[in-house]
Chain A
Amino acid sequence: DGGITQSPKYLFRKEGQNVTLSCEQNLNHDAMYWYRQDPGQGLRLIYYSQIVNDFQKGDIAEGYSVSREKKESFPLTVTSAQKNPTAFYLCASSEDRGRNTQYFGPGTRLTVL
């Protein structure tokens, strides 16, 4: 089955810790994205990547970092510099960043203790 997987489903972090969220896709899509979803707000773009070894900041990149070493994988690290990291994180992919539909993974809920 083709699709996007995210792990873990739930993640708990202590203050001051860095955590990494996994996103893998087997759709052979070039572009991948990370969004953050908070109650009562629309999805907000954190980072995106159009090609391996290249990525761009989205609207709310501060306190986050990413890598794109493989076409299939786009992990997101939430660093201790992110002031309010508790949220639902969604990974998406599309054939490219042009006129193409984005498909989403199941999400990771991060809670800071």
Chain B
Amino acid sequence: EDQVTQSPEALRLQEGESSSLNCSYTVSGLRGLFWYRQDPGKGPEFLFTLYSAGEEKEKERLKATLTKKESFLHITAPKPEDSATYLCAVQGGSEKLVFGKGTKLTVNP
């Protein structure tokens, strides 16, 4: 059974304090790993798709990386507007997306 575990559950940072969120996964035949951002009361907003180990993608202050067992979402010099819950999901051979429970990030000014 495909599984996704995100850590930490919650993270508080000061503005400008860089850090990383972790997404550990087990999947049969990885088709893709997805990162989303979700603001309270809203639908998830797509950030990145990674397809194979070693792949990296960047967008503004965010950088996602992928190994065979985990993915990291690196946040460089975060701002208060980066505060949100970040969701990780994997798609394996069943084609179904399996989501983690998310990491709630708070960036204080």
Contacts and interface: CB of A to CB of B under 8 A. Distances in A.
A43 interface: yes
Contact of B43 (A98, A99, A107): A107
Contacts, number: 50
A101 interface: yes
Interface stretch (B12-20, B71-79, B97-105): B97-105
Interface of A: 4, 6, 40-45, 58, 88, 90, 97-99, 101-107, 109
Q: Which of under 10, 10 to 19, 20 to 34, or 35 or more describes the interface residues of B?
A: 20 to 34
A41 B87 CA distance: 11
A103 B49 CA distance: 12
B31 A104 contact: no
Contacts of B96: 45, 58
